[in-house]
Every structure is written in C-alpha cells, then in structure tokens.
Structure 1
Amino acid sequence: ATTAMDEYPPLEWTSDVVSRDGGDPDPTEAAGDDSPAGGGADDVEDAGLWRQRQKAERHARLKAEVTGMLREMKPPLRDVFRKHALHCLPVRSLLRFRSVSKEWRCFISAPIFLHTQSHGHRSTSGIFWQIPPGVPGYSPFDPLAGGVPDPSLAFLPSSPCVAALASSNGLLLCAGILHSYYVCNPSTAEWTSVPEPPPPCLTYCVGGVPVVDDGGRTAVALLFEPSAGNLEAEYRLVRAYEICEDSPGVYGFQVFSSVAGEWRVSSDVCATEQLIPGSGVSAGGVACWRTTMQTVVSYDPVADSCRSVPWPMGYDTTASWQLGEMGGRLCCACVTDSAVQVYALTPPGLWSLLASYKVAGGEDSGEGFGEPPVFGSRPSPLRFQSGGSEVLLWVSGRVVGLDVASGRAREVCVAQEGPWMMGDADFVPHISTFARVFPQNVGGSHLRALTPQSKQKIM
C-alpha cells in the first residue's frame, strides 16, 4: 500500500537550498519572493546581482550604525560647541553665529534654544547707568558680545524720559515720565507695560496731566527666575511702600505677577527705619533692599512673608555697601578705607565671608600685607547679579567686575570721574539673554498697544 509520503521524492541537501527533485537549486526559490523570476541563465545572473545588492545594503546599514556610535563617543567639535557651549553666550554673539550656516540659523532661532539660553547664560554683560535728569546709558564689558541695540531704550513709549530701576536675569524694570512701569528685554527690544499699581499712590495734576508722585516712599525690585521646564517663565514686580505717613518705618508690599496679570497686597508688614530706593535686588526669587539702619529687608512673594537681618559689618557708619546675587544666594559687598569684603547670607540668617581684598592707603596698608593691594583707592560697591561669583565695583570712572572665586577682574570705562557720578547716578547690571517678555493675561485700557518700533525684534 502506498502512503501520502510516497508521492514526494526524498529531499536532497545542497549548499544553497533544499531541492526536492535532486537537481540544481532554483535561484528564484533561494532568493525569495523579491528575487528575479524565471529559470534561464539570465535569471541566475540576475539572482547573483540581487544578492550582491542585498549584501551592499546590509554593509551600508552596518557602516551607518558604526559611524553613529563613533559619533556619539567622539562627536565633532562643532557639535560639542553647539550642544554644550552655544547657549552660554550672550545675545549679540548668537546673532552673529546665525550666519555660520542654515543649520545653525535654524538651531539658534528655535524657541527651545532661546529658552535654554535665557536659562543657561548667567554672566553679567554690562551695566545701565543714568544721571538724572537724562536718558539712560549702557556700557558693556565686551562691546562685540554684550552690547544692546538701543542703549537709550528709545523703543519704550515714554522715551526719552525713561529710568532704569532694577533688573533680574535679562529683564529690566523701567519707569516712564508718569512713573508708569515697563518690563523690557534690552537685548531683544521686547517690552510690555505694567498696570498702574493700586493705592497708596499720591496722584495730582500738572497742567491737566496726571502725574504720579510717591515722594520717594516706595522701593521696587524685579524678580525673574527662568525655569528649565517652563517656556513662559513668570516675572514679578514687588513694591515696598510706607503704609502711613503718620507711622514712618512700617512697610507693606504690593506684588504684580505676569501670570495673574494684576496687583495684590501682601498680608505681612515690616517695621524698619527706611528702605533705600534704588537698592532693590533679586536673589533666589526673593526681593531684598538695604535700609538706613544697616539692615537687609527681604520679601518672598510666594510665601508672602518678610524678614529683616542685620548687615555683616556690625555698626560702622563709614562703610559703604550694596546687595547682589551670586548663584542664587543673597550677597553683600562692603567697602571700607582698608578693605573690600564680600559676604553671602547662609540659610540660618548668618553672613559668611567669601573674600577680602586690601585697599591701598588704608590703615592697614604697608609691608605687613605680604601681597600687593588690589585697589589703589577706595572703590564704591554697585548692585550685582551673576550665576557665578562676580561682584561689581566703581573705581575711578570704571566699572570693575571682580570674580571672588578666581580673583580675575574685568572692567569697562563708563565716564570720567566726577562728583556727579557717584552722587545721583544709579547703576543697574544687565545679563544679555533671549528672555521673553510675555504680555499680561489681562485686558483693559491700561495696557498700551505695541508700537511699530517695539515690534521689531532682533531675531
């Protein structure tokens, strides 16, 4: 009896494929469905070419994978620079780098890179200065890298009557002729107006024009902390004001938030002698001011709480001092006739000495130092802000940036030394970033429309 298996011949194994009839292997069967069909010599030749093509494609894929792995292990220098260093440069340098290639232009213009640069660049680019009455001026440490397109801030509506009040991580707080507030980015000429703050705000009219005058009873600070995960970072404007003229020295706080789009009044108050206008700085999201009784008043808008700590030098009426930020910490630069000392505030509320430099001509000057003095004359401290450890000082018509960690110094000439410079002049540090100035989420007539000048961005 025959079975179903007897109907098929026995299998014979070959080097390429199994043949059921004992003959030569079928090239089309060995190649699969995608191989050439047919049974002639030409078909065998086509199958050989097909195998060569498949082998070449596999080799190309393997080569691409190996090249990719080698590129990850040892990338080209241009890729390393673009990935790890480009976002640390100021705006003006990045605008020049856009001309390197179309790829770089697209990379630098991408919103995610602009946000990364505003979060990563923390070096002071220059300083705004102003001698009232007059338009502001700007002096960069490096004109090719840290310059701004319009140092006079002419893109603001109230120009030329503009006063730079405070800064924070690339944004600048300004006041107009009616003491209206503006928040702008001088590096990109973006700006927005801030709604008029609520009372107390003494208002009177001159020739039918309303003018706001607080009699110097308010002190302001700008808070802006870019977040790596938030493309629309929030900025806050904090106003410290005397609650009542009959009770001097008692201060409340008004806070404007760009996210909320409105002002609110704090529930906490602070009793001190007098806050010094023009001393407001931002440190770790907290607004800080100097006082006439040599204390530091700080207000945290998130926690809605304030506190007061004494300055680090004790009782010394001859010392001059300013506040600033280094790496998110509140710091204080104190200058006497014999030394320049820089302190940082620790979490317990105590001051820690970071660096001390001698001043020539002081009481301790002489051969006992062991090292030459750093300053030939007594400098004056300025407000400062840096992601590193740089403090700003005024020395004989120059602004000196001194890194207290490395001891390195850089300088920029502002103007000739004179009594007008350190008397009424005000200095505001600036960090050149692509920080965006988003409009407030409010509507109403108090928001000014953008002018054609303000719409021009250096992008």
Structure 2
Amino acid sequence: MDSGKNLSKFLAAKNNKIYMDLKLIIREHALQFLPAKSLFKFRGVCRDWKLLISTPFFAHNQSLSFSSVSGMFFQIPGETPTFISLDPESCGVPDPALNFLPVPVDIMSSSNGLLCCQAQADDRAYYICNPATMQWKKLPKPSMEHGPKSDAVLVFKPSLLNFVAEYKIICAFRSMDFDDATEFEIYSSKDDSWRVSREINFAARRLIPKSGVSVNDVVYWQTSSGTILVFDTTKDRSQIIHGYYSTNGGLGNFNGRLCSAYIYGHRLMVSVISNIYSNTMQMSSRAKLWDDKVKIPLPSEMLGAGASSYVPSPVMYAGSEIVLIYSKQNIYLCDMKTREARFLVEAPRTDQKVVPYVNSLVAL
C-alpha cells in the first residue's frame, strides 16, 4: 500500500512539475507572439499573467514579436470606420468606430499597430492612435497647407531600444509655389514637429488618392500618369518609377519589397519590384524592373463571365501575402500562400479607404 501511495504522490508531483514548466514556458516564450485581443482575454488566467501582460516591458516585446495583419479598417469618406477581423476569435479592437478619439476622423494610413488619422473638422488636425489600447495623440499643426487631396503615409517600425514608438508621417501635397509640382512635409515623433523637405518633384503629376504605401523607410504613391512617385525618408529624395500597370492595380508590401497587384483576365497578378534605384527618369522596360511572383486564377462567379483583358475590379489592398479585390459590390480576399480567393464582406461603394491593422500593444 505504501509503495502505491508513494507512486501516486510521485506521479502527481511529476505532473504538477510538467504543468508548472509548461506554464512558465508559455508565459516567458509564447505569450508575446499573440495578438492584443487574445492577451486581454488571458489576463484572466491568473494573477501572474495579468501582471505580466500589463507591464510596459511585455507590451514592448509583443510589438516586436507580433506583426501579422489582424484585420482591415474600412471607411467611406466622411463616415464612421468599421473593422473586419481576419480572425475574430483572436484579433479585434474594443472600439472599431474610433469613438475614443475626441473628434470624428478619416483614417489615412497604418503601420505596425498604429493608425494615422485626420480630423474631419475644419482644422484637419492629425492624430496617431493604437485602436487596441485606445491610446492617442494629437499632432501639432503642419507648417504647410496640405489641401483636401494630400496623401499622408505613416512610417513606423518597432525598435528593440525604444519603449516609446518613434514614427514619421510623410505627406505629399500639391505645391502652392510651382505649377504641377509635388512637395513633401515630414512629421517626426522624436522631435514632435513638422519640417518641409527641400525636395520638390516636378514630374509626378496628380497623385491617386489613398494610394500611398511605405516599405522599408520608402514611401510610394500611384500617379494619374501611370507612374509611381517615390520618396526615400532616409535620403530625403524623390524619383519617378515608370513601367507600372495602374489601370486596376494597387501597391503594397510583399515580404519587405514593393509589390504591384492587378487583375489581368481572370487572374490576379502580383509582381515585386527588383530595384527602385535601377530606374531613372527615362522610360524603362517593365520586364527588367518587376519580377512576377504570384499568379492566382480567380473564379468566374467572382469577376463575371466574359471578362476582358483588363477587368475594372480595383485592388483595394495588397500586402502581407493577402490581396483584397472589389467586384460586384463585394470584397474578396485572395491568399497568396494558398492561392485561393474567398468572400470577405459586402461593400456597396468602391470609394472606401481600406487600411490594414496589426493587433499590437505598441505604446504611444
């Protein structure tokens, strides 16, 4: 009998040790890779987890470790935004309409868990916020008038050394001093101020609204002439890229490189740029500038029968190995890994802004 009791105690102690070791491993090495919504739930597991998840150090580690696109903010101009989660059980925000901000806003851009918004009111003030934590900051007024057709792009990458987010906003706007010229104004959170770049681009023509994207400290905008305007934040220089299909395409970030996603026939084509600095102001061969990476066949019921070579189905978002396509008052999600397309949400209007969001705990 004694040996049986001892064996039971031994097994119970061993199982308890395994449980404690597993709990420690999860706490120390797994939690930081989870999205914010899941972490808010897991604060109820035990007191230790609640204290850990609530610390600035853990929030900083999570912002470095979790970078997957968790969902999309959709917004019709002048209306309240909505949020569609790609994984509703794990990812989400407490206030998708962003009512925690002091005024109604238009979402301009996003980057690694932060949103750049602009007030719909007359002052058109800029705000930075994290929808997961509902932290926000109003930015000082720019020194230049950006106008209603400006395009502001947020550039932010979490840093191992900085607990407080350091980010930039690059705004391209029509020059008041030079005809058909584009100027740039940059906000730096480190300095908490705006500065006007000395760079002026005379070749960009008109920018396509809501087209700006950032990839590795470089910002790209589509233009009405079928080119791409490039602004390098580290060099404070701009250039024009030729050889781009803009009929129904969109720009995005594919594994750290600029990508072009567009519809051709019944296929989604995703091409990645080879080297932005190999192209000059002269016309260049598209074949040398872009590498075709993904070709996804699209179902005929999605685009409609009898589609021509160029289908007027705009690419609303491209990046993080997913592409959103608008067709027949619906938005479809195309997965570049599985090469499959599926219905995402109904959308009666095509003029919505679509902004990706990473469910991060990054602090402002």
TM-score if structure 2 supplies the norm length? Answer: 0.81
Distance 1:76 1:408 in 2: 40
- Aligned partner of 1:31 in structure 2 is none
For residues 55-86 of structure 1, what are the alpha-carbon distances to aligned partners after superposition, in whole Å with 9 as ceiling and x for unaligned?
Answer: xxxxxxxxxxxx9xx99xxx944444434432
Distance 1:88 1:390 in 2: 20
Count of aligned positions: 328
Give 2:249's aligned residue.
321
Deviation track 1:276-324 (CA, whole Å, cap 9, x = no partner) reads 12111121122211111111212122221122212544xxx7x311111
Alignment of 1:334 with 2:277, yes or no, is no
Q: Indicate which of 349, 352, 363 corresponds to 1:425.
A: 352
Which residue of the partner structure matches residue 32 of structure 1? none
Q: Which has the higher strand share?
A: 2
Match of 1:167 in 2: 110
Contact 2:296 2:339 in 1 (8 A): no
1:298–1:124 Cα change, 3 Å: same
Segment of structure 1 superposing worse, 186-195 or 274-283: 274-283
- The correspondence of residues 94-109 of structure 1 with structure 2, limited to 5 A, is 94-109=39-54
Kindly report which structure 2 residues correspond to 1:363-442, keeping only aligned pairs within 5 A, or say none: 379-386=313-320, 389-396=321-328, 398-407=330-339, 412-413=344-345, 415=346, 417-418=347-348, 421-422=349-350, 424-437=351-364
How far apart are the structure 2 equivalents of 1:135 and 1:324? 24
Deviations, residues 340-366 of structure 1 (Å, cap 9, x unaligned): 11112223462211101123459xx99
Q: Secondary structure at the match of 1:320?
A: coil
The alpha carbon displacement at 1:397 in A equals: 5.1
* Counterpart contact for 2:184–2:200, Cα < 8 Å: yes
CA-CA distance at 1:411 after TM superposition: 5.5
> Which of these two proteins has the greater Rg computed from alpha carbons?
1
Q: 1:251 aligns with which of 154, 177, 182?
A: 182
Kindly report the root-mean-square deviation, in angstroms, between the aligned alpha carbons of the 2 structures.
2.8
Relative to structure 1, the CA distance from residue 276 to residue 402 in structure 2 (aligned partners, 3 Å threshold; closer, same or farther) is same
**Structure 1 unpaired stretches of 5+:** 1-66, 202-213, 367-376, 438-459
Distance 1:353 1:135 in 2: 37
Which position in structure 1 is the counterpart of 2:194? 263
CA distance in 2, matches of 1:402, 1:246: 42
Considering Cα pairs closer than 8 Å and 6+ residues apart, tell me whether 1 or 2 has the greater RCO. Answer: 2
Q: What are the Cα deviations for residues 1-49 of structure 1, in whole angstroms up to 9, with x where unaligned? A: xxxxxxxxxxxxxxxxxxxxxxxxxxxxxxxxxxxxxxxxxxxxxxxxx
Write the distance in 1 (CA, Å) between the matches of 2:128 and 2:107: 10
Q: Of the candidates 207, 210, 213, which is equivalent to residue 275 of structure 1?
A: 207
Unaligned runs of 5+ residues in structure 2 are: 1-13, 280-288, 306-310
What is the rounded CA distance, in whole Å, between the counterparts of 2:323 and 2:134 in structure 1?
26
Task: Tell me which residue corresponds to 1:143.
Answer: 88
The amino acid of 1:232's aligned partner reads V
SS in 2 for 1:383: strand
- Select the residue among 126, 144, 168 that pairs with 1:199: 144
Partner residue, 2:128: 183
1:30-45 equivalences in 2 (<5 Å)? none
Q: How far, CA to CA, are the matches of 2:207 and 2:153 in structure 1?
A: 12
Give the match for residue 11 of structure 2. none
TM-score by length of 1: 0.65
More divergent stretch after superposition (86-95 vs 395-404) = 395-404
